[in-house]
A and B are shown apart, each in its own frame.
Chain A
Amino acid sequence: MKHKHLKVWMAALTVAVGLVAAGCILSGEFIFVVEGDGTITSTDTVLDNLHVDLTSNSTWNDHKDDIKSIVDIKFECKFTNNRSDSASGELYISKNLYTTVSDVKDNATLVFSGLGLAGNESRTVSFSESSTYISNLDTVLSLLESGEFYVYGIASDTPFSVTVSGVGTPGSDQEHLRLMVTISAGK
């Protein structure tokens, strides 16, 4: 009887050790930071976008076929309200190129919202601070897997005029909006 118990315990222990060992080798958490290729200046009648291309990022290329989940997404950007009335800044993401604000609101994924801006105010948002404004993480996975997507910066109010740029001075590493992505990936 004692022998039987021992066998069961040994089997359970072996399985548990195997699980840990297999997990260690086969998956992990990886981070990459991508930067847009320009700034976004949109109004309620003229829509601008920022094209993000992941295909030149080595971390994304290493894991694009075995991403299991998006652990986290952060933005670092500067929103500027170009009008004298207040606005609430928003970022949408889509694989598709849209030409109107209503198309974006109807079809793209809202990933950043609620950034209050007084008239003619500029606010910078660090990676850490962006947690407050981020939503719909779970739907971003399919966008990342496509390797390329568009970011739209608008305001929830109408009329509006906003500019989304990086937090640094022109020519610096942080000149453009940056996106930090943490993925869990592995076989």
Chain B
Amino acid sequence: MKGKKIALILAGILLVSAATSAHATGWGVGGFGGVSIPIVQDDAAQGVVFGGHIRLSLGGILGLEPNWTYFKNGDWTTSDAPGETFPGSKFNSFGVNAILGGAGPVTGFRFFPFAGFKFYNEKNDFRDFSGSHLGWNAGLGIEIGAGPIGIEGRASGELLPIDGGGSRKWVHILGGLNYYFGAK
């Protein structure tokens, strides 16, 4: 029942997107930046995130998005150790998103749900830790385009399993600019 509801919501978004924009094949590059908000992580605070991606249209509303993202958790404190500040982790991630809603140049606006995997490389000076893990992300974006230019905003949920069990989670709120080659 829940799955049907989610599928219906996604289908609705895609219909609106299809009705309000014209999809073209092609490819583009883009950059983005924003805030990284840790979810239920006592050892992380809000930080910055930025990166770049390539947007490849597979025709119609299907697309692929190879991407690189850097983000840094802000320094954190705990009431159990007043007056002390501890550094958050830094992450470099590389991955690929599957996109619905179109990944080529757009005229008008479109919503684009996306999901994908990433290899997250974490470095933490406080924990003296450095390592890589496979994680996942999924979310929803909106892009407004004219000619070769697209301006996008998106919210992405990021999930990184950790050794021994459990996981780290973030929400990334992002804004970005895309340029599409060969668009008219």
Please give the residue numbers on chain A whose beta carbons come within 8 Å of chain B beta carbons, in ascending order.
2, 5-6, 9-10, 12-14, 16-21, 23-24, 27-33, 68-72, 127-128, 131-132, 138, 141, 173, 178, 180, 182, 184-186
Contact = CB atoms under 8 A, between A and B. Distances in A.
Contacts of B78: 31, 33, 180
Interface in B113-134: 113-116, 125-129
Contacts of A9: 62, 98, 100
A178 B81 CA distance: 10
Given A20-B136, A20-B138, A33-B80, 11 more contacts: A12-B115, A14-B6, A17-B115, A17-B157, A18-B3, A29-B42, A29-B43, A31-B78, A33-B81, A127-B86, A184-B166
A185 B100 CA distance: 34
A79 B82 CA distance: 22
B85 to A, nearest CB: 10
Contacts of B53: none
B10 A10 contact: yes
Nearest to A20: B157
A105 B116 CA distance: 49
Contacts of A31: 42-43, 78, 80
A56 B129 CA distance: 30
B54 interface: no
Most chain B CB atoms below 10 A, which of A17, A30, A141: A17
B126 A20 contact: no
Contact of A5 (B62, B86, B129, B167): B62
A177 B128 CA distance: 21
Interface of B: 3, 6-7, 10-11, 39-44, 60-62, 78, 80-82, 84, 86, 98, 100, 113-116, 125-129, 136-138, 157-159, 162-169
B140 to A, nearest CB: 9
Contact of A131 (B80, B128, B162): B128
**Those 9 A-B pairs whose CB atoms lie nearest each other, nearest first:** A28-B40, A184-B166, A69-B164, A68-B165, A33-B80, A131-B128, A16-B115, A20-B157, A68-B166
A28 B162 contact: no
Given A27-B166, A69-B166, A127-B81, A12 B157 contact: no
Most chain A CB atoms below 10 A, which of B61, B80, B158, B159: B80
A95 B159 CA distance: 35
Contacts of B129: 72
A14 B7 contact: yes
20 contacts: A5-B62, A12-B115, A13-B10, A14-B10, A16-B116, A16-B136, A17-B115, A17-B157, A23-B167, A28-B39, A28-B41, A70-B164, A71-B166, A72-B43, A72-B129, A131-B127, A178-B81, A180-B78, A182-B127, A184-B162
